[in-house]
A and B are shown apart, each in its own frame.
Chain A
């Protein structure tokens, strides 16, 4: 039997019962802020992706290049894992919205575990590339590659920390249906990290070198 919680938390009255918020726009300020933040993140990752595109061919004749190190089957599996973590994240959002706290905890933990699997894969990949001779300062391709994928990995790690925080809040009884929007906002961040990887995977790994 799923654990449910329907009581409104004391002092937490962000919305009218018709879904409208007590703000001048009638929208949630927190959600609006997250979308503005994600819009600005497009500029950060746009800069890193274009820097990679600019530098990917800048390797010496005997340097290690993308075709020497990339392991597409391995990266495809990690991409699939991250993609599926978006599915478990929407399940976490829908379960908290209907008051299924146990389901919410399971899906939050699953999403964090899938994210951690992706990060572990990235750490393995970096280690393998380094042992094959591609360091951060080996050439411009290496610098651009590690900067781009490293920044993305840092974003995934921050997402995992936020998911674990939600899990701890839920365990302590501080995350009920009245806070469904908090889970939804963290979910937006998580899905953004996923769409950035969709772009990175195609441009960095799959484009013909």
Chain B
């Protein structure tokens, strides 16, 4: 994945400690564009799995592929667009705590109802 460099005066993006709420280096706008391109490509691959050409691969393989691509997209948005990669770790922990709690509760619920 792309590297992040501290802002310099010659880039189109000045440092903004005011927006930080903690410590984090701000990536350049070009990094955001690159992340958006990756997101668009992943979405295109996801949609591709819908069409008949890949149905011979089997439902399990398609579901695994879709989950991997979904997680990649999720991580890209959370880490780069939501700045969690550069922000104070406590924000990351708070969000992941809610996420893991939700996944655990509902996995137990779905297992109890024998959905698998």
Contacts and interface: CB of A to CB of B under 8 A. Distances in A.
A43 B40 contact: no
B81 A90 contact: yes
A198 B40 CA distance: 12
Contacts of A73: 47
Interface string B82-95: 11000010110011
6 contacts: A86-B36, A99-B14, A181-B18, A191-B82, A201-B46, A206-B47
A5 interface: no
B16 A50 contact: no
A39 interface: yes
- Size range of the chain B interface in the assembly: 35 or more
Residue in B13, B18, B32 with the greatest tally of chain A CB atoms within 10 Å: B18
Interface of A: 15, 17-19, 21, 25-28, 30-32, 35-36, 38-43, 45-47, 49-50, 53-54, 72-73, 76, 79-80, 83-84, 86-87, 89-91, 93-94, 96-99, 177-178, 180-181, 183-184, 187-188, 191-192, 194-195, 198-199, 201-203, 205-208
A25 B90 CA distance: 10
Interface string B58-74: 01001100110110011
